[in-house]
Chain A
Amino acid sequence: MEAHSATASAPRAGFRLPGVGAGLGRGAVVLYLSVIVLLPLAALTSQAFKGGLSTFWEQVTSPLAVSSLELTVVASLIVVMINAIFGTIIAWLLVRDEFPGKSVVNAVIDLPFALPTIVASLTLLTLYGNDSPVGIDIAFTRAAVVVALLFVTLPFVVRAVQPLLIEMDREMEEAAASLGASGFTVFRRIIFPNLLPGLAAGVALAFARALGEFGSVLLFAGGLPQTLVASVFIRQQIESGNEVGAAAVSVVLLAASMLLLALITLIQRWSGRHERSIVDRGLTGMSLDLGAPRSGESHGEGDDDGRE
């Protein structure tokens, strides 16, 4: 029995707006998205190239712009690599380990999603700044940029890897062990390859977030030339009236964001999952019930429109 394309086999009844209704709905959605998202971005792009390609290039290659972009990219790369490792470890602990307070820890992982970035900045400054109760003072250094980005991107990898670990078939690992594989080998050859799509998506998302991060870096690292990230640079340009410059660098960041999103979509396709995917969960930072694995692939009862 061949599977039919979704549009061809969608039943006509059930909750279906009449054709006109759906058309109107689509129109409304497109209007909303255009007004809220697309028009502003178009205005941004237009402003960036207002003075022509040469001005754009000039702005983007000014020393401060370049150094801020460099710092941003390098710091983000370092951060996602660190969080890829720690995120996987933490996800592992949350899924495969038992310890007191595990459910609290699981809940707290989402803190960076829930906490305003400016508050994060302040707390990091308080803890690891010049009044530090633990004697660590990294405020207004590049390390501060890294730590701030570590904070905000922590949940991405954890939440992307967790569902994959939960859904993973233990029997694969057991089979490998029975064939003589050590713990580490099992991880390397069985577990890791299965986590890879989620890990990759989580990393890409975390990277996108880190590139654009503003609030958490602002107070903790400040806006000194050597700790200037792209977003702070842009704000400084706005404040000094250089809108073209601000727009130019913004467009660079925007392009990077779009590329990363495209990458994530590709990862999604490659890992063969449909929309109900780890990436969707990673995107919204959804906490997962550790006890009952949510069947990512299932359709609810009675979703088969048996074409018979």
Chain B
Amino acid sequence: MGASSNRHSRWGLRTLGLGYLTLLLLAPLVMIFYKTFEHGLAPPIEAITSSDGLHALKLTLLMVAIAVPLNTIFGVGCALLLVRHRRRGSAIIDAVINLPFAISPIVIGLSLFLLYGAHGWFGPALAEAGIEILFSVPGMVLASIFVSLPFVVRETVPVLQEIGTEQEQAASTLGANAWQTFWRITLPAIRWGVAYGVVLTTARVLGEFGAVTIVSGSISGKTQTLPLFVEKQFQNFNLPGAYGASVVLALLALTTLLAMNVLKRKEDA
């Protein structure tokens, strides 16, 4: 369209596009903050600092603390495999990694439920061993890992491809072994891609709802993460509680957005 764009059509597009965004994204976001503090700071703070609320927060952070490092190690290792050691089966690995992007979280939750449940494949064996997967933290961790699996891989692969192998070859001519090369040359070169992937993984784990609700049973004070807490408060007509927790999650989301933006700049540099 270049320089000779039609002024009217430009303004038309702007109104359309930005208007849509306002209605769909910005207004709801503003709304949450408004509604939360509508009656002052006290109700939301009270709700979030209730024992259930605090537990929910801690549990959510625990999910992050376990799932994110696991998926990061997996992600970097897998990316190295897919890029530097590509074989015929790599396409299948690729496809499986993409699955969590497209499968409904409810389906994910159910599949875990059916694998580890009392009537499931592993259910009886686990029961005998006294290991609780469902309605307990391990199941929730598995669900969190499943849903957030692809991010680090997907972000690391393009960066790995872009840096090429020459620096690594140079390092080996200078006497570095495989680990030294990885640690000193490869990893620093891909760090922003990995960091971005980590941020996305974290956001996904923090916000996960559907899968975790199925595997955990959403038991207050025991297996209820913060998003599940929001639903529970809502069901109990405790709106300030629901909003309060939502605000915390929204703030975490905004922090994530900020991190995403900062990191993408670093990555492009």
Contact = CB atoms under 8 A, between A and B. Distances in A.
State yes or no: do A and B touch (Cβ within 8 Å). Answer: yes
Interface of A: 6-7, 10-11, 13-18, 21-22, 25-26, 28-30, 32-33, 36-41, 43-44, 46-47, 86, 89-90, 92-93, 96-97, 99, 105, 107-120, 122-124, 126-127, 133-134, 147, 150-151, 154, 170, 173-174, 177, 183, 186-187, 205, 208-209, 211-215, 218-219, 230-232, 234-235, 238, 243, 246-247, 250, 253-254, 257-258, 260-261, 265, 275-276, 280, 283-289, 292, 294, 298-303, 305
A235 B161 contact: no
A89 B105 CA distance: 30
Contacts of B66: none
B16 A110 contact: no
Count chain A CB atoms within 10 A of each CB in B31, B107, B169, B173 and give the residue with the most.
Answer: B107
Count chain B CB atoms within 10 A of each CB in A86, A118, A133, A212 and give the residue with the most.
Answer: A118
Contact of A14 (B95, B168, B265): B168
Count chain B CB atoms within 10 A of each CB in A29, A32, A170 and give the residue with the most.
Answer: A29
Contacts of A116: 206-209, 226-227, 230, 249, 253
Nearest to B243: A122
B246 A16 contact: no
Contacts of B169: 11, 13-14
B250 to A, nearest CB: 6
Interface string B3-46: 01110011001101110110011111101100100000000000
A219 B234 contact: yes
Contact of A205 (B2, B101, B250, B257): B101
Contacts of A258: 99, 102
A275 B164 CA distance: 14
Nearest to B157: A275
A247 to B, nearest CB: 6
Contacts of B120: 43, 47
B181 to A, nearest CB: 5
Interface string B52-96: 000000000000000000000010011011001111010001011
Interface string B190-212: 00000011001001001111100
Contact of B13 (A92, A120, A238): A92
A13 B242 CA distance: 56
Given A15-B165, A44-B114, A111 B257 contact: yes
Given A43-B114, A117-B210, A118-B231, A298 B6 contact: no
A6 to B, nearest CB: 6
B258 to A, nearest CB: 8
Contacts of A301: 164, 166
A234 B109 CA distance: 11
Given A215-B227, A275-B157, A96 B106 contact: no
B86 A44 contact: no
Given A89-B16, A186-B1, A276-B161, A253 B209 contact: no
Contacts, number: 342
B158 A43 contact: no
Given A10-B165, A284-B155, 18 more contacts: A11-B169, A14-B168, A21-B178, A39-B121, A40-B114, A44-B110, A89-B17, A116-B226, A117-B207, A119-B227, A170-B2, A212-B106, A212-B107, A238-B214, A243-B119, A261-B99, A280-B158, A303-B164
A47 B114 contact: yes
7 contacts: A43-B114, A113-B200, A116-B208, A116-B230, A119-B249, A123-B246, A183-B9
Given A15-B84, A286-B155, A183 B103 contact: no
Q: Chain B contact residues (Cβ within 8 angstroms of A): what range?
A: 35 or more
Given A113-B203, A283-B101, A7 B86 contact: yes
B113 interface: yes
Contacts of A92: 13, 17
B102 A261 contact: yes
Nearest to A124: B28
Given A21-B178, A44-B111, A89-B17, A235 B207 contact: no
Contacts of B178: 15-18, 21
Nearest to B166: A302
A278 B151 CA distance: 15
Given A33-B97, A86-B17, A289 B264 contact: yes
A22 B85 contact: yes
B102 A205 contact: yes
A289 B268 contact: yes
B252 to A, nearest CB: 8
B172 A13 contact: yes
A289 B266 CA distance: 10
Contacts of A173: 1-2
Interface string B134-170: 0000000010011001110011011001111111110
A216 to B, nearest CB: 9
B209 A29 contact: no
A209 to B, nearest CB: 7
A126 B28 contact: yes
Contact of B24 (A6, A25, A151, A285): A151
Contacts of A37: 96, 99-100, 146, 149
